[in-house]
Structure 1
């Protein structure tokens, strides 16, 4: 298997004009509330590279005070994740962090509300290595403050994550997808998929705040397995340690049911009242953009 995982940034030149056009229109009527961009990308497709490029270009080239935050930093505290797992011991989807339902959406709502009001707010941090890889939230005393006294106000927020923008389906839609051919859905009881689906209602409060949305999609979502295998092989070569191929597949398997359930709804468009505010970049196996769609 190839371990060449270098990702060339062919995405920010497409995204920056999309963002700036919408920011210009938005800021004219919203001079104080920051412009919030949701960014979803399948694992391994180049999301991290894109986010870094976008933040750099917006800050340096456009002079915009830009904050990047990840949904990963809103995972439940270790004790709360443990309690969730113990309260649903037969639901494998919530035994570890990852799926919708394993994030602290009360914390997220409070964070984004304060951001939108221009108030000082601390950015949550999460340590994935804590508790032998089970993870835990970093002590609040270490969180960085934005919008504090003497600090410039945040003007643009990029909120990124693999499940950012996922929206709840109707029970009928979940059943239909569960009964259709799939890679992973039938491994789990339907009621366990419904549990994850219902938790997504709590995420809508954040999704509804987005002023624009960028979706790095793949021509074939199953490539996420190959991309993660490549990344981990490169890490093993670099560090001499890392997950085995079997462990990588098991790792991706924990996330893949949500891709199978919720990706179609993301592709069809998040917004009912914000036309042409969603940008979909469809990438090939080489992670390069093959098609651009504005919804």
Structure 2
């Protein structure tokens, strides 16, 4: 098997190729940084790998490369509590994580500032606050990025998920009610799933247009997330930070599973840049070579890579 460092090697090569390719083809305004979206389940090693890639690519290209996460744009604790109250009874929106719990405007303004090569503060979210429920850290702790920035790695567990037509969502939900499989969808009301689905559309409209290339870290079994997320929490507690109990982690991950069930199949099966089936062939031709999929086993080791 190949060690987790293989993730760094594969992604670094992909990032450098994308940068050189777009410089050569002059397909983008060189003033704007190359923005690469990276999707991967919780605990899959996205953050650590991105930090390693930043070091590797920065050294090889001699350029300013940065990384940040969709988690950095969570709403403040108070704003998330307000979302929870406004969606009373919807467990999917009780805690952070699902579409609807991020500050879309803050993310958009951050991307715009980076694309305009302005000095930009990247928000920071402290997950250890409020007994593991988290809160946005003070602005004084946010990293200040000085231009020019050549490459941005933007990672997140749900980044790249695309909303479903409501009729399709209803079909999947009704099918889960009749199925004997271990689906998480029947644990939630259809209208609660629809609410999250509607929120997701805003991410597509506001954030996705900034993304120039896409990487998908996929798990052979999405249930690995329970083990991976638990390991993360244990590590945080060993560092002396407060966090969730094992039971709370399991409940926390349970709330993410419906999104994996609904949106992961399309991310696996289609070109991420495709808008719909009608223009799939055109989109795949237009964006050929601009996406990468890496398959991981339960120990986060790379078992396969495809473009």
Question: Which of 131, 138, 153 is matched with 1:158 structurally?
Answer: 153
Which string of whole-angstrom CA distances, capped at 9 and with x for unpartnered residues, describes residues 31-65 of structure 1?
Answer: 21000011111112222231121111011232120
Mapped contact 1:81–1:102 kept (Cα < 8 A): yes
**Unmatched segments (≥5 aa) in structure 1:** 1-6
**1:74 maps onto 2:73 in alignment:** yes
Greater alpha carbon shift after TM alignment, 179-188 vs 87-96: 179-188
Question: Runs of 5+ in structure 2 lacking a partner?
Answer: 275-282
Q: Tell me whether 68-77 or 257-266 shows the greater mean CA deviation.
A: 257-266
**Superposition RMSD in Å:** 2.1
Q: Which residue of 2 aligns with 1:195?
A: 195
How many aligned residue pairs are there?
284
Q: Is the 8 A contact 1:9 1:49 kept in 2?
A: no
User: Which residue in 2 is equivalent to 1:3?
Assistant: none
Corresponding residue number in structure 1 for 2:278: none
Deviates more, 1:114-123 or 1:7-16: 7-16
Shift of 1:247: 2.4
TM-score (normalizing by structure 2): 0.85
Distance 2:159 2:34 in 1: 16
Equivalent runs, 1:255-294 vs 2, <5 Å? 255-267=256-268, 268-272=270-274, 273=283, 274-294=287-307
Q: How many Å separate the matches in 2 of 1:141 and 1:291?
A: 42
Superposed displacement of residue 236, structure 1: 6.0
1:78: how far off? Answer: 1.9
SS at match of 1:132: coil
Q: Superposed, which structure 2 residues align to 1:227-266 within 5 Å?
A: 227-232=228-233, 243-266=244-267
Does the residue aligned with 2:226 lie in a helix, a strand or coil? helix
1:12–1:197: structure 2 CA closer, same or farther, 3 Å change rule? same
| 1:8 equivalenced with 2:4 (yes/no) | yes
Residue 24 of structure 1, CA deviation? 1.0
- Structure 1 segments (4+ residues) deviating >6 Å: none
Q: Is the 8 A contact 1:12 1:50 kept in 2?
A: yes
Question: In the alignment, what sits opposite 1:4?
Answer: none
Q: Counterparts of 1:179-194 in structure 2 under 5 Å?
A: 179-180=175-176, 181-194=181-194
Question: Which residue among 157, 166, 174 is the counterpart of 1:171?
Answer: 166
- Higher mean displacement: 23-32 or 56-65: 23-32
Contact 2:44–2:228, Cα closer than 8 Å, also in 1? yes
User: 2:131·2:244 contact (CA, 8 Å) conserved in 1?
Assistant: no
Determine the C-alpha separation between the residues in 2 that align with 1:236 and 1:126: 17
Once the 2 structures are TM-superposed, how far is the Cα of residue 18 of structure 1 from its aligned partner?
Answer: 1.6
Alignment CA distance shift 1:118-1:46 (3 Å): same
> Which position in structure 1 is the counterpart of 2:215?
214
After TM superposition, the score normalised by the length of structure 1 is 0.89
Report the CA distance shift for 1:231/1:135 in structure 2 as closer, same or farther (over 3 A): closer
2: distance between equivalents of 1:285 and 1:142?
A: 35
Q: 1:230 deviation in Å?
A: 4.1
Contact in 1 for aligned 2:128/2:243 (Cα 8 Å): no
- Give how far 1:197 is off: 0.6
Determine the structure 1 residue equivalent to 2:277: none
What displacement does 1:238 show? 7.2
Secondary structure of 2:303's match? strand
Query: 1:211 and 1:143, CA in 2 relative to 1: closer, same or farther beyond 3 A?
Result: same
Q: Distance in 2 between matches of 1:102 and 1:156?
A: 26
